[in-house]
């Protein structure tokens, strides 16, 4: 994998969404065809033999790579969304964040016990939304859960991997310390 290419094209936005946060904007990776192909090729290779039957993309940046991976892996794609965005019956999970609570939903008929699921999102920082997605997916009684991120932040106070623990097999393309 061409890590230098990806890091050179990753945009950092200071003080977004609140002062003190250094936001890692993956939209610059998505708009560059070479970066997008590099990410898709690397992730596809990592999961090619995992038996993935469904890819769950976490709203909204997880939709981009999630859909690409689902296509490449011959799997279905499931959207994990904020409340009120899915039109049919849903299952929900509410979780705590560093500045409040949030809820995510998946259609109630999206997954079953035969599924091997890859959860995809752009960034692992504190791990709150990822752990919530894992718990929501686990409620369907699936066979196995993998979780993949484009970027994993391992800076002071960010311990997402430890917070998630062994509830899913976790992988990330880029680690930023």
Report the CATH fold assignment for 49-176.
Answer: Rossmann fold (3.40.50)
Spans of all domains in the chain: 49-176
pTM over 0.85, yes/no = yes
Q: Which residues contact 128 (CB under 8 A, 6 or more apart)?
A: 95, 96, 97, 98, 102, 163
For residues 141, 133, 152, 123, the Cα torsion angle rounded to the nearest 10 degrees is: 140
Give the catalytic positions in this structure.
61, 98
- Give residue-wise pLDDT tens across range 4-43: 999 999 999 999 988 988 899 999 999 999 999 999 999 9
Output the CA torsion sign for 130, 171, 27, 78: negative
Closest residue by Cα to residue 30 from 92, 108, 122, 110: 122
Closest residue by Cα to residue 68 from 86, 47, 85, 83: 47
Q: How confident is the model at residue 105 (pLDDT cuts 50, 70, 90)?
A: very high
Going by DSSP bridges, is the β-strand pair 169-176/54-58 parallel, antiparallel, or unpaired? unpaired
Q: Across the strands, what pairs with 78?
A: 56
Report the chain's mean pLDDT, rounded to a whole number: 95
Q: Across the strands, what pairs with 144?
A: 116
**C-alpha–C-alpha distance, residues 177 and 169, integer Å:** 21
| Res 157 pLDDT > 80 | no
Whole-angstrom CA distances from 24 to 9, 134, 143 are 11, 23, 32
* Average pLDDT of the residues in 144-165: 91
Q: What are phi and psi of 92, to 5 degrees?
A: -125, 160
**C-alpha–C-alpha distance, residues 13 and 119, integer Å:** 25
The pLDDT of residue 96 is 84
Q: Among all chains, which residue has been given the structure tokens 């690397």?
A: 42
* Average pLDDT of the residues in 115-130: 95
For residues 116, 122, 126, 128, the Cα torsion angle rounded to the nearest 10 degrees is: -50
- Give residue-wise pLDDT tens across range 67-102: 999 999 999 999 999 999 999 999 999 998 767 889
């Amino acid at each position: 994998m061409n890590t230098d290419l990806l890091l050179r094209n990753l945009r950092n936005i200071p003080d977004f969404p609140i002062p003190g946060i250094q936001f890692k904007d993956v939209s610059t990776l998505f708009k560059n065809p070479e970066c997008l192909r590099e990410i898709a090729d690397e992730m596809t290779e990592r999961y090619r033999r995992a038996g993935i039957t469904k890819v769950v993309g976490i709203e909204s940046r997880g939709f981009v790579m999630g859909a690409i991976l689902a296509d490449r892996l011959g799997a279905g794609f499931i959207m994990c969304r904020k409340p009120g965005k899915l039109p049919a019956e849903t299952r929900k999970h509410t979780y705590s964040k560093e500045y409040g609570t949030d809820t995510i939903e998946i259609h109630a008929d999206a997954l079953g016990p035969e599924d091997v699921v890859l959860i995809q999102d752009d960034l692992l920082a504190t791990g709150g939304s990822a752990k919530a997605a894992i718990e929501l997916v686990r409620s369907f009684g699936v066979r196995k859960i993998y979780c993949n991120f484009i970027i994993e932040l391992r800076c002071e106070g960010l311990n997402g991997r430890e917070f998630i623990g062994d509830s899913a097999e976790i992988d990330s393309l880029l680690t930023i310390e």
